[in-house]
């Protein structure tokens, strides 16, 4: 094989790989749009809407200090007050599910949600 043939072969292989990757991306987007059109899809979370375990721990600590009525005093630097409110609602639901079902949830078990027993009637 000559150098030109080897080069052409390498280029052809790279192009085939890129085509496969593009086909996979197109298929994923197609499936996403089908699921979205059938309302079977949870909305995609933007990166800034995702909560890390550290942010959750900070939120729980502030909840224990200020209580649920002191939400205005909560200071999570990367989150807005609206995001804090909705995260508290979500954590309360997780707590109630753990309490009633006693089964492992997908939620990070390292965070103690027992402080919610004091606040379950406050929403």
86 within some domain: yes
pLDDT at position 47 is 57
Model confidence pLDDT, tens digit, residues 100-109: 655 454 555 5
Same domain as 31, residue 61: no
CA-wise closest residue to 115 among 99, 86, 95: 95
30 within some domain: yes
Same domain as 37, residue 58: no
CA-based R_g, the chain, Å? 24
Model confidence pLDDT, tens digit, residues 39-96: 665 555 555 567 777 777 777 777 777 766 666 667 777 777 778 777 877 777 776 7
**For residue 100, what are the CA distances in angstroms to 13, 103, 104?**
56, 9, 11
Count how many residues are written for the chain.
123
- Give the pLDDT band of residue 28 (cuts 50, 70, 90): confident
pTM of the model: 0.42
CA-wise closest residue to 76 among 96, 53, 94: 53
123 within some domain: no
Same domain as 110, residue 55: yes
Tokens coding 15: 């192009």
Half-sphere exposure at residue 60, Cβ-oriented, CA atoms within 13 angstroms: 20
More confident residue, 18 or 37: 18
- Give the pLDDT band of residue 122 (cuts 50, 70, 90): very low
Same domain as 71, residue 28: no
Same domain as 103, residue 53: yes
pLDDT at position 105 is 47
The total number of structural domains in the chain stands at 2
**Which residue range(s) make up the domain with 55?**
48-118
Q: Is 55 exposed, middle or buried (0-12, 13-18, 19+ CB in 10 A)?
A: middle
Same domain as 73, residue 19: no
């Amino acid at each position: 094989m000559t150098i030109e043939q080897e080069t052409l072969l390498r280029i052809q292989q790279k192009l085939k790989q890129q085509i496969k990757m593009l086909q996979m991306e197109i298929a994923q987007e197609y499936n996403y749009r089908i699921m979205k059109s059938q309302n079977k899809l949870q909305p995609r979370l933007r990166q800034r809407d995702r909560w890390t375990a550290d942010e959750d721990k900070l939120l729980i600590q502030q909840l224990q200090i200020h209580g649920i009525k002191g939400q205005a005093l909560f200071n999570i630097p990367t989150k807005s007050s609206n995001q804090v409110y909705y995260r508290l609602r979500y954590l309360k639901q997780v707590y109630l599910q753990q309490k009633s079902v006693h089964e492992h949830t997908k939620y990070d078990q390292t965070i103690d949600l027992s402080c919610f027993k004091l606040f379950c009637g406050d929403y």
